[in-house]
């Protein structure tokens, strides 16, 4: 059986362009040319194309396929074994990616589809989770388990009403921090008022307040990129300024 480009294309499912390309790069040349220059493929070429498509399925590059096809002494097995390993890694990675995308969707959906009540619940839990994960260890080491657990318990125990109040206080605090920052002086009345608002904000979740702990928290803010990012998002350099203001407040 002999085939022209289009016939072989239909037979094999690849495009005519692909066959011409394979000819161009020397991967699969037609058996002969017709008198008018048409490419004519024979049985051998059909079989070869099957082989090529097989390796292509395996995501082997055409360059490698050319090697495999043209050098029968090519170490096929170890090449395939390496290949299967790469595929498995890719497979695992894809799994990871899919689950991340799904989680992202869940979160985003949560933001648009959940009731305010549910949102509130989810938010609180998430906050505690994140705090636990990122700072739990550090804080536990410095202040002991009781403080952390109490803080979490208190946060979970917050009513939605209190939570809203807490958010309002935070907003007030950020505004005052900005005013203070503009004076450039951590000891300015504005900066000190900001620190007091910060203290008020903390009392929503802190079991008991101490100036030392407050100052320590300021240090953590500065040294931890997540907090730095959070406060600097509102005021560039605000984190350091807040720490300095807390130092003044705590008389440190």
**Residue ranges that bind a copy of itself, judged by CB under 8 A:** 1, 43, 47, 57-59, 76-77, 80-81, 83-84, 87-88, 90-91, 94-95, 97-98, 100-102, 104-105, 108-109, 112, 229, 232-233, 236
**CA angle 124–125–128, rounded 5-degree value:** 85
Tokens describing residue 146? 């009781």
Contact 213, 143 (CB under 8 A): yes
Q: 145-157 and 116-131 helices cross at what angle (nearest 10)? A: 170
User: Could you tell me the smallest distance in angstroms from the CB atom of residue 146 to a copy of itself?
Assistant: 35
Least distance CB 43 / DNA (angstroms): 17
Q: How far apart are CA 12 and CA 221, in angstroms?
A: 63
**Nearest residue (CB) to a copy of itself, 34 versus 81:** 81
Partner touching 225 among a copy of itself, DNA, none, CB below 5 to 8 Å by kind? none
For a copy of itself, the closer of residues 80 and 202 by Cβ is 80
59 or 118: whose CB is closer to DNA?
Answer: 59
Whichever of 3 and 143 has its CB closer to a copy of itself, that residue is 3
Of DNA, a copy of itself, none, which one does residue 126 interact with (CB within 5 to 8 Å by kind)?
none
169 neighbors 197 (Cβ within 8 angstroms) = yes
Shorter beta-carbon distance to a copy of itself: residue 33 or 229: 229
Distance CA(176)–CA(169), nearest Å, equals: 10
Q: Cα–Cα distance between 105 and 23 in angstroms, integer?
A: 45
Work out how close the CB of 214 gets to a copy of itself at its nearest, in angstroms, rounded to a whole number. Answer: 26
Cα gap 168→41, rounded to integer Å: 77
Cβ 26 to DNA, closest distance in Å?
12
């Amino acid at each position: 059986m002999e085939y022209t480009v289009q016939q072989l294309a239909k037979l094999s499912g690849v495009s005519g362009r692909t066959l011409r390309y394979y000819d161009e790069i020397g991967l699969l040349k037609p058996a002969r040319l017709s008198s008018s220059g048409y490419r004519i493929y024979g049985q051998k070429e059909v079989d070869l194309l099957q082989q090529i498509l097989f390796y292509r399925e395996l995501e082997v590059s055409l360059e490698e396929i050319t090697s495999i096809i043209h050098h029968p002494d090519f170490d096929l097995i170890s090449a395939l074994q390496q290949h299967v390993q790469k595929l498995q890694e890719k497979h695992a990675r894809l799994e990871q990616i899919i689950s991340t995308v799904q989680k992202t969707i869940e979160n985003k959906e949560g933001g648009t589809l959940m009731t305010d009540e549910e949102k509130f619940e989810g938010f609180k839990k998430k906050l505690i989770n994140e705090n636990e994960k990122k700072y739990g260890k550090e804080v536990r080491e410095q202040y002991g388990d009781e403080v952390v657990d109490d803080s979490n318990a208190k946060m979970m125990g917050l009513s939605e009403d209190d939570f809203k109040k807490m958010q309002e206080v935070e907003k007030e605090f950020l505004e005052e921090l900005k005013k203070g920052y503009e004076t450039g002086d951590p000891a300015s009345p504005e900066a000190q008022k900001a620190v007091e608002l910060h203290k008020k904000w903390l009392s929503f979740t802190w079991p008991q307040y101490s100036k030392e702990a407050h100052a320590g928290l300021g240090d953590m803010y500065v040294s931890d990129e997540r907090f730095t990012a959070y406060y600097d998002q509102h005021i560039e350099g605000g984190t350091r300024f807040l720490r300095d203001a807390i130092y003044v407040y705590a008389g440190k």
